[in-house]
Structure 1
Amino acid sequence: MKLVNYKPDYLLEAVYNLDVENLKKKDIRGIMVDLDNTLIAWNNPDGTPELHQWLKTMRENDIKVIVVSNNKHERVQRAVAKFDVDFVSRAMKPFAWGIHKALTKLEEEPDHVIMVGDQLMTDIRAAHRAGVRSILVKQLVASDAWSTKFNRWRERRMWKKLVRRYGQPEWKKRL
C-alpha cells in the first residue's frame, strides 16, 4: 500500500470553501462531491442555506457539480432531488468506477475536475486511482452512519502514517 495514494492534494475545512475564482485559476470546470458528511450531514438530508447558496453560485458560474456516492440509488436520488444536481450512486469507492462514470456524465477530462470527500479510504483513494485531484474536507458532523465506522478506524491509522511522513495537516479556508 503506497502512502501517497491516500494523501489528499488539498485540505479544506468544508466543500463550501471552494470558491469560483480559485477553481477557475486551477482550470476546474467540474466538482465531484461525496454526499454524506461532505455535501450534507448524513443524518440531515435537507442541507443548509450555505449549501444551497454554494450550489447556486457554482451553477451561475458554469461549474458543474455531481454527487458521487457509495449509497444506493434511491437514497442518493432522494437526497439530491432538492439540490438539482446529477449523481452517481453505488460508486464503489475506493475503486475508480464511479469517478469514471461521473467524468462521462460531466463530459470532462480528469485534469478539469476535482473530487471532494470526507474520507481518505474511499474518496481520496478513488480520486487518485482515476487520476483526479482530490480535496479532503472535515466531516460536517462528528458521528457517522454505522457503515462508515470501520473506515474511520482504518483512516485514523492511515492519518498517523501520513503525519509521520508529511507532517501535521494544515486545513485551509480557501483552495
Structure 2
Amino acid sequence: MVSAFKPTWMVTNIYDLTPDQLRAHGIKAVMTDLDNTLIAWNNPDGTPELRHWLTMLEMAGIQVIVVSNNSRARVDRAVAPFNLPYVHRALKPLTWGIRRALHRWNLRREEAIMVGDQLLTDVWSAHRSGVRSVLVKPILTSDAWVTKGNRLLEKVVMWRLRHDYPELTWQEDLNERKTH
C-alpha cells in the first residue's frame, strides 16, 4: 500500500527541473501544485527565480499547468501574473484534476509529470492517474491550516517509504536516479 505514495523522483525544488532534463524524459508538460510548490502559500506574487524558470520552459516549448485544490479565485489571482493555465478545485488525491488537465491540453500520460510538495495529495493522485510524479520540498516550512494534518500523516508515510525503499533520497535533478 505504501508504494502508492512513492514518488517517481524526489527533487529539492521545482526550479531544479530543467528543459533538457524534461525533454530527455519525454516530458512536454509540467503539471504543478500551487502552494508551497510553485509559490509560497502566503506569497502569491512569486519570485524572480520562478519567472526565470517559467520563461526557460516556455522557450523550450514545455507547458506548465497548475493543478490545485484551491478555489478559482485563489488560483486565478496567483497565476494571473504568469499567464498560466490551470485546473482549480482539482480534488487531489482524486484523479479528476489531473485527468482534466491531460484531456484539456491533449496530453498523453507519458508526456506529463505532476510536481508537488505533498505525498498524500500530489504524488498519490499522480500515481492513480498513471502520471509520473516529482516530490519537491515545500518552499516554506509553515503551511496553511488545511495542510497541517496532512503533514503529520505524511511524516509516517515518508518514514515507511524510506524503510521500504532505502534508495529514496533527495536528488538535484531528474537524471541522478529514478526512485522506481
TM over 0.5: yes
| Residue 22 (structure 2) pairs with residue 47 (structure 1) | no
Name segments (4+ residues, structure 1) moved above 6 Å: none
Q: Which amino acid in the other structure matches residue 168 of structure 2? A: P
Q: Name which of structure 1's ranges 24-33 and 161-170 shifts more when overlaid on structure 2.
A: 161-170
Structure-1 separation of matches of 2:166 and 2:104 = 37
Structure-2 separation of matches of 1:23 and 1:106 = 18
**Structure 1 contact 64–106 (Cα < 8 Å) conserved:** no
Partner of 2:30: 31
Structure-2 separation of matches of 1:170 and 1:5 = 17
| Helix, strand or coil at the partner of 1:23 | helix
| Helix, strand or coil at the partner of 1:136 | strand
Per-residue deviation, residues 25-82 of structure 1 (Å, max 9, x unmatched): 1110000000000000001111110100000111111101000000011100110000
| Residue 117 (structure 2) pairs with residue 121 (structure 1) | no
Give the total of aligned pairs: 174
Structure-1 separation of matches of 2:157 and 2:123 = 12
Q: Which amino acid in the other structure matches residue 156 of structure 2? A: R
**Structure 1 contact 14–38 (Cα < 8 Å) conserved:** yes
Partner of 2:2: 3
Identity percentage over the alignment? 48
Partner of 1:95: 94
Partner of 1:166: 165
**Structure 1 contact 96–127 (Cα < 8 Å) conserved:** yes
Structure-2 separation of matches of 1:169 and 1:41 = 25
Structure-2 separation of matches of 1:40 and 1:27 = 25
Name stretches of at least 5 consecutive residues in structure 2 with no aligned partner: 175-180
Q: Which amino acid in the other structure matches residue 88 of structure 1? A: V
Structure-1 separation of matches of 2:162 and 2:138 = 19
Structure-1 separation of matches of 2:149 and 2:39 = 20
Per-residue deviation, residues 114-138 of structure 1 (Å, max 9, x unmatched): 0000000000000000000000000
Name stretches of at least 5 consecutive residues in structure 1 with no aligned partner: none
Deviation at 1:168, TM superposition (A): 6.0
Partner of 2:16: 17
Normalised by the length of structure 1, the TM-score is 0.98
Deviation at 1:106, TM superposition (A): 2.1
Partner of 1:62: 61
Deviation at 1:170, TM superposition (A): 1.6
Normalised by the length of structure 2, the TM-score is 0.95
| Helix, strand or coil at the partner of 1:135 | strand
Structure-2 separation of matches of 1:105 and 1:144 = 30
Aligned ranges for residues 134-149 of structure 1 at < 5 Å?
Answer: 134-149=133-148
Structure-2 separation of matches of 1:148 and 1:53 = 28
Deviation at 1:174, TM superposition (A): 1.1
**Structure 1 contact 30–106 (Cα < 8 Å) conserved:** no
